[in-house]
């Protein structure tokens, strides 16, 4: 069985960080370093079909949670604090429900346990339209992407995964072919019977619509010891848009 790729920084109690859809562990490098300074051994993990981890046709949250359990076994981690953003938050919730004894504390960033209808299709379409064979630079890729995606921030986020596969050949680190076919799975709700009784912090962006006030009863039905904080002046990428407040809330919860 293949083991997820990671970047491990710092010493102390393990803190596993899971990126979102089309992201990778590198997105969390700056915040990971800050958590490491607080005394955590931070594991910045690439989920399957993302970053430098293996590619597979199989992709759903039960499988992603099993990947995490296997990763912990490989690194002799009995229990850990787990932080997941968006898709990574769904993986983290699934893992905590399946392996409560291995989850010390849980932080879920800007995602609820509910079903989300597929809403990334415009990004997938833009990526599919790229003339990968003729692209010779990141600048050229950005120019082409801008024809379909006007949001500079989203383009920069996607282009972080662009790398040279070989001389004169650029490609993305995420498995676009498989992920484009798994949009329903990515939106999946947490199983109705899944629950975790340990401490949970939900963080949402003040400008994000991913977690509504009305979601709180459903969150509590799965996570009775959960509470929520709102990161100001931030949308869905709250950890990048207001890292200072994100870290403040996370540190208070982890050390509380």
Residues annotated as catalytic are 86, 236
Task: Classify residue 42 by burial, with Cβ atoms within 10 Å: 0-12, 13-18, 19+.
Answer: buried
Tokens found for residue 178: 């498989």
Tokens at 36, concatenated: 């490491």
Query: From CA 204, how far away is CA 118, in angstroms rounded?
Result: 20
The kind and range of the H/E element at 241 are helix 238-241
Q: What SS3 string covers 148-168? A: CCCCHHHHHHHHCCEEEEECC
Distance in angstroms (rounded) separating the CA atoms of residues 161 and 27: 10
Beta bridge partners of 105: 81
DSSP H or E stretch at residue 67: helix 61-74
DSSP code, position 188: P
C-alpha R_g of the chain: 18
DSSP states of 108-135:
EES--SS------HHHHHHHHTS-GGG-
Phi, psi (rounded to 5 degrees) for 92: -65, -40
In terms of Cβ atoms closer than 10 Å to its own Cβ (0-12, 13-18, 19+), residue 147 is exposed
């Amino acid at each position: 069985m293949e083991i997820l790729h990671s970047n491990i920084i710092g010493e102390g109690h393990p803190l596993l960080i899971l990126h979102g859809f089309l992201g990778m562990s590198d997105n969390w490098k700056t915040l990971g370093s800050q958590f490491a300074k607080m005394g955590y051994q931070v594991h910045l993990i690439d989920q399957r079909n993302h970053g430098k981890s293996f590619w597979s046709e199989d992709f759903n949250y039960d499988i992603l949670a099993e990947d995490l359990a296997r990763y912990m076994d490989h690194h002799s981690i009995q229990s850990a604090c787990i932080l997941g953003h968006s898709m990574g938050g769904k993986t983290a919730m699934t893992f905590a429900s399946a392996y409560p004894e291995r989850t010390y504390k849980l932080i879920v960033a800007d995602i609820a346990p509910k079903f989300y209808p597929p809403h990334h299709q415009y990004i997938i379409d833009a990526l599919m339209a790229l003339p990968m064979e003729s692209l010779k630079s990141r600048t050229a890729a950005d120019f082409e992407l801008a024809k379909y995606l006007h949001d500079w921030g989203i383009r920069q986020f996607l282009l972080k995964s662009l790398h040279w596969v070989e001389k004169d050949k650029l490609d993305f680190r995420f498995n676009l072919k498989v992920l484009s076919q798994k949009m329903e799975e990515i939106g999946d709700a947490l199983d109705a019977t899944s629950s975790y009784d340990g401490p949970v912090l939900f963080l949402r962006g003040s400008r994000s619509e991913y977690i509504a006030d009305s979601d709180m009863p459903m969150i509590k039905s799965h996570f009775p010891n959960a509470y929520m904080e709102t990161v100001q002046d931030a949308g869905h990428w709250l950890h990048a848009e207001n890292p200072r407040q994100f870290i403040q809330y996370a540190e208070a919860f982890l050390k509380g």
